Amino acid sequence: MLGKNNPRYVEKEHLICDNCGKEFERIPSTSSIPNKDGDIHNFCCQQCYWDFRSKYYIGDKLYNTGKKMNEEFCDKIRKATLLQYKEGVFDRQTKPQKIVNEILEQLHISYINEETFKYYSVDNYLNNHNLIIEVMGDYFHSNPNKYPNYKQLNDIQLKDTVRDKRKNTYIKKYYNINILYLWESDILNNQQLCKSLILYYIKNNGLLSDYNSFNYSLIDNKVTLKSNIINPYFMITP
């Protein structure tokens, strides 16, 4: 018997990842137990677990034993986790991500989901052009058009803002790639703009006046930069 008719069926619980803020499902287990500080954290994948640790746990000690880890060991763990993520062991593609994949396929543009850049993975690496597209959820990445007051962002949104800034800075510094950010509202409601912007991004070899889809519009089927430019929080926070 399949599904709920199976006597061994266990209802999955709906959780929110403490690192990236995305919703995910998991069969209840003893993994959600308090840590030594009495806190309970949930993560959608191992990458988020390690990202969270690197930001909120002190230094280079193992969380469960307190033993010091050397940098070589840490690097092996990071690479192994990112490889699993790239190979689809942790599948957490959202609807906007799937739409962007479909757009790229319609345009016959080769891409790699979750390509790794040492400490970070990216949503879409355009491998024939050495360019990157990130899919930005309006809530978790704090679209300023929907969340105009930075002081009212919650902890999850603030964490993602920090992470987005670090990723952007790292990839620009070490790989010299300007990331194109396609925002959820545009992906869901203005796919033609997203298609045109992707082509424009490639045509200009990744050099744009602005890298956020919400700052563009289509006028006579031409990608046009809006006069009122809005910066996402991760580009303006210290």
The count of structural domains within the chain is 2
Residue 7: how many other CB atoms lie within 10 Å: 6
pLDDT of residue 23: 79
**Could you tell me the residue range of the domain that residue 131 belongs to?**
95-235
Is the pLDDT at 85 greater than 60, yes or no?
no
Asked whether residue 2 is domain-assigned, the answer is no
Query: What is the reported pTM?
Result: 0.66
Backbone angles phi, psi at 114, to 5 degrees: 60, 40
Look at residues 86, 103, 128 and tell me which one is the last residue of a structural domain.
86
How much is the average pLDDT of 9-19? Answer: 74
Q: What share of the chain is helix, strand, coil (3-state, %, to 5)?
A: 40, 20, 45
Task: Please say whether the dihedral angle defined by the alpha carbons of residues 173, 175, 176 and 180, taken in this order, is positive or negative.
Answer: negative
Same domain, 105 and 198: yes
How much is the average pLDDT of 86-90? Answer: 50
Same domain, 205 and 151: yes
How much is the average pLDDT of 158-183? Answer: 96
